[in-house]
Amino acid sequence: MASEEHTVVHYVEKPDTRIPPDFIEEILLRLPISSLLKLRRVCKQWRNMISDPHFIMEHAYRAPKHLLLYLPKVDLPASLCSKTLKCRATIIDEKWSPWTWAALHMDPDDHLFASCNGLLCFYKTYTLKIANPATGQCLHLLKPDGIMLHDFHYLYSFGFHPTSREYKLVHFLREPQRYKSGQPFHFNTIQVYTLGEDKWRDIRVPRPCCMVNLGVVTVDGSMYWLTEDEETGCGMSVASFDLREETFASIQLPPFEVKEIASCATPKIACYITEIDGKVCIVTIPYQSHIPRWRRYNTELSGRMDIWALESQTEHKWFLKYSIQSPSVHRYVPQPCFIHRERIILQDRDGNAWYHDLAGKNVQIEHREEVKLLDIGAYRFYETQSYFYKETLIPLSVYAGAAIVCAPPRPLAPPVA
Amino acid sequence: MAAEKGEKGAAAKEVAGERMVTLESSDGEEFHMSEAAAQLSTLLRHVIEGGGIDNGIPLPKVAARTLEKVIMYCEKHAKAAAKSDSDPSAAAGSSSDNTAAASEDLEKWDRKLVNGLSQDALFDLIVAADYLVIDGLLDATCRKVADMMKGKTPDEIRKIFNILNDFTKEEEEEMRREYAWAFDD
């Protein structure tokens, strides 16, 4: 019958053992990346199909969404044992099993700041790095000119617009003259880099912004953050930036009940921004006055946490998605995405991470209903970041020719399942 | 239980109080299917709504052995849908234990159905599911073929699916170098 590969092989014509040609794509779309990378070698038709941008986009769309927990590196003090814990990434898959990404080579100064369509963005001391761990491709980019000092990972974000199919990095250019340690992050300008272009562009913000709680999410091609807004009753509003049109909009916060009159100076509600089920959401928690509003550390649950989802980007209508009562024990949530597949991720001060079902709109968190997810050991629980991640074949090599790319890509090994 | 949509001009037969439709396979065999089950096929649903199906619906693209499996799938899923509709606990909350277990059982049944088919019968079922526009069946059958590919080397894939390797040795070597860590065969 069949002999070795590479010689011309004449197979006996077996009836219908060949996949109907119209359905090869449908079948390949249902395979994980690890299989697809191997199957590129079967024949030219399959290789061309798997490398086709349309196929890659459709596969990315159907890929299961996972939760990625990122723990920044920790320098343990000499009193403890004087060593450094490297930054760590853990994936929580569909079965809620955590697997640590041993093969994802992160340098010690890598700080994850965004995850989009399988692309992870890292802040480094002198550059930015975008990597697709599934394919091993990697891109190093120069930061905007002159940005070296007083720059932080939370001043960067990354997003994708489904219609223009462009990826953009956004840097919130903090006002230098207003910089003082412990002060909020005011900015009048954002700096935008479109993947494939040669340089960063400055875009003036129509109204000066002050980033509140430093969370940025991108949903349906628009980037959202919270800003101080003196013209509103609660002192805040949601700012949005359309990644295709590069225009700004302002969205009023949801109509949450404010027991006492709030103002910028004496806020009563702490607000955070997140994404749940593909919608921008605002999280409100009773305000704890000793915590500044621009803190970058994670939220402690207290009282009743309300979560409002933006129903429509055009109509600016919100609906109350969850009303969550805190438990009697201390619990914190990682940022920005802490609700996934109808469960909430919670952390305690001892390094434990849990998940708890959100069965309906009104939920009371009970310790006995928490399921242990993992133990983060000596990492700082209040610095845990959480993003959505999916394995995709999105290529980065197509953007490698731009002038801004500054170091040759280094191949990374794939995650071990 | 059976949908009311088929009333327009259709004099569908009734069996034990359930409206039935007659289907004719490409090789001339006649099959009967409840109208509720036929609703799972978008194509059949439109044909029934259009009326004029007194003499049965001819399906020249679907052979008897394939049509038999299609009907099995549709009847099973229609029955499961009817059961969950009449289940009061399903109406109350989104994920009660009953509905989760029921859908798991249904998935197991689907897997058993596709596992029992020969390769060419499986492909015929894919084509039929697509033609009749039965999304769930198309998904189950395609996933089965995808599962057959997991963990196999490219050479094994070529043997199973009768595919010619049209790469030169140089091209193969280049691909091996590009993704060296992906080729653990």
- ipTM for the whole complex: 0.83
Among A106-110, A319-323, A371-375, A398-402, the least confident range: A106-110
Q: Over the stretch A128-178, which tens digit does the pLDDT of each residue have?
A: 999 999 888 889 999 988 666 668 888 899 999 999 999 999 999 887 665
Tokens standing for residue A150: 């007083």
Q: Closest to A17 (Cβ–Cβ): which among B119, B138, B153?
A: B119
Report the mean per-residue pLDDT for chain A.
85
Mutation target vs A (from B97, B104, B123, B185; most A CBs, 10 A cutoff)? B123
Residue of A nearest to B157 (CA): A42
Residues of chain A whose C-beta is under 8 A from some C-beta in B? Answer: 2, 5-6, 9, 11, 14-20, 22-23, 26-28, 30-32, 34-35, 37-44, 46-47, 135-136, 342, 359-360, 411, 413-414
Query: In angstroms, rounded to a whole number, what is the distance separating the alpha carbons of residues A127 and A147?
Result: 10
How far is Cα B84 from Cα B157, in angstroms, rounded to an integer?
A: 40
How far apart are the C-alpha atoms of A285 and A130, rounded to whole Å?
A: 33
In this predicted structure, what is the pLDDT of residue B1?
A: 43
- What pLDDT score does A231 carry? 82
Check pLDDT > 90 for residue A221.
yes
User: If you average pLDDT over each of A16-25, A307-316, A403-412, B27-36, which comes out highest?
Assistant: B27-36
Judge: B130–A11 Cβ closer than 8 Å, yes or no.
no
Closest partner CB to A17 (pick from B161, B169, B181): B161
Contact yes or no for B138 and A26 at CB 8 A: yes
pLDDT band at B96 (very low <50, low <70, confident <90, very high): low
pTM of the model: 0.84
Q: What is the mean pLDDT of the segment spanning B23-29?
A: 93
* Residues across chain B: 185
More confident residue, A23 or A404: A23
Q: What is the pLDDT of residue B73?
A: 97
Chain A residues whose beta carbon lies within 8 Å of the beta carbon of residue B126: 20, 23, 26
What average pLDDT does range A217-232 have in this prediction? Answer: 90
| Cis status of the peptide bond prior to A184, with omega within 30 of 0 | no
Mean of all residue pLDDT scores within chain B = 84
- What's the whole-number mean pLDDT along residues A260-266? 49
Is pLDDT above 90 for B18?
no
Q: What does the pLDDT average to over B98-113?
A: 89
A15 pLDDT more than 70: no
Q: Rounded CA gap, A237 and B31, in Å?
A: 63
Quote the pLDDT of residue B180.
60
A99-113, A306-320, B114-128: lowest mean pLDDT where? A99-113
Q: How many CA atoms lie within 13 A of B82 on its CB side?
A: 16
Q: Which residues of A touch B165 (CB under 8 A)?
A: 5-6, 9, 42-43
